[in-house]
A and B are shown apart, each in its own frame.
Chain A
Amino acid sequence: MASQLAAQPRPHRRWNVVRVGRTVPGILFLAPAVIAFLIFRYYPLVRGLLMSLYRWDTQNPPGQFVGLNNFSLTITSDVFREVFVNTLILYGFGLLFGFWVPILQSLMLNELRKGYFLFRFLYVLPVVVPGIAFLMVWKYIWAPEFGLANAVMSGLGLPTQRWLSDPNLVKMTLRLPGLLGGGMSVLIYTAAIQNISPEIIEAAIVDGANAWQRTRYMILPNIFPIVSILFVLSLTGSLLAFDDVWIMTGGGPGYSSTTLVMGVYQRAFVQNQFGLGSAWAVVILIFTLILTLGRLYSMREERM
Chain B
Amino acid sequence: MDESIDRDLQIPVTEHRVVGTGIKLSWQDKVYRTICYVLSILWVSFTVFPLIWLIGSTFKDSVDIMKMPPDFLPRVPSIYTVQLDYSDVALPEGVTLEQAIREDMAIVSWRIPDYLGDIHLGAIRGEAYLDGKKVAETFLPTQQYAHYRGLLWVTQRLSDKLVRREIDRALFPIDFQMNLDGLAAGRQAGEADEGTAKIAAMFGTDAELQPTGKLLHIGERRYFPAIFNNFITAWRAPGKLYKGMTFAGYMSNSLRITIAEILLQWFISGMAAYALSRILTPKFSRLWTIFFLITMMVPGIATLIPTYEMVGKMGLHDRLLGVILPSIPGAFTIYLFKGFFDALPGEIFDASRIDGASEFEVFFRIVVPMSKNVFTVIGLLTFLGSWSNFFWPYLILRSPKVWTFTVAIYMAMGGSGAASAQYGNAMASAVMAAIPTILVFAIFSRSIQQGLVWSGLKG
Q: Which residues of A contact B (CB under 8 A)?
A: 1-7, 12, 14, 18, 21-22, 25-26, 28-30, 32-34, 36-37, 39-45, 47-48, 51, 58, 101, 105, 108-109, 111-113, 116-117, 119-134, 136-148, 150-151, 154-155, 164-165, 177, 179-182, 184-185, 187-188, 191-192, 194-195, 198, 201-202, 205-206, 208, 210-212, 225-226, 229-230, 232-233, 236, 239-240, 242-243, 246-252, 260-261, 264, 268-269, 274, 277-278, 281-282, 284-285, 288-289, 292-293, 295-296, 299, 303
Contacts and interface: CB of A to CB of B under 8 A. Distances in A.
Contact of B43 (A105, A127, A295): A105
Given A41-B298, A109-B36, 16 more contacts: A25-B360, A26-B280, A40-B326, A47-B306, A109-B40, A122-B47, A134-B54, A136-B54, A147-B419, A151-B70, A155-B69, A194-B12, A210-B26, A212-B28, A281-B305, A295-B459
22 contacts: A1-B277, A2-B280, A26-B284, A29-B363, A40-B328, A58-B309, A111-B36, A119-B44, A132-B410, A133-B54, A145-B66, A146-B66, A155-B69, A165-B418, A194-B17, A210-B29, A242-B301, A269-B308, A274-B305, A281-B304, A284-B299, A285-B301
A116 B278 CA distance: 40
Interface in B22-53: 23, 25-26, 28-29, 32-33, 36-37, 39-40, 43-44, 46-51, 53
Given A37-B291, A140-B423, A210-B29, A284 B10 contact: no
B302 A250 contact: no
A249 B416 contact: yes
B419 A182 contact: no
Interface residues of B, number: 128
A106 B342 CA distance: 32
B237 to A, nearest CB: 16
A220 B234 CA distance: 48
A-B CB proximity, top 3 nearest: A250-B416, A33-B272, A25-B359
A1 B342 contact: yes
Contacts of A133: 54, 409, 427, 430-431, 433-434
Contacts of A179: 46
B307 A150 contact: no
Interface string B407-448: 001100101111100010011001101100110111001001
Contacts, number: 377
Contacts of A5: 346, 350
Contacts of B275: 25-26, 29-30
A285 B416 contact: no
A150 B1 CA distance: 46
A148 to B, nearest CB: 6
A126 B419 contact: no
A180 B50 contact: yes
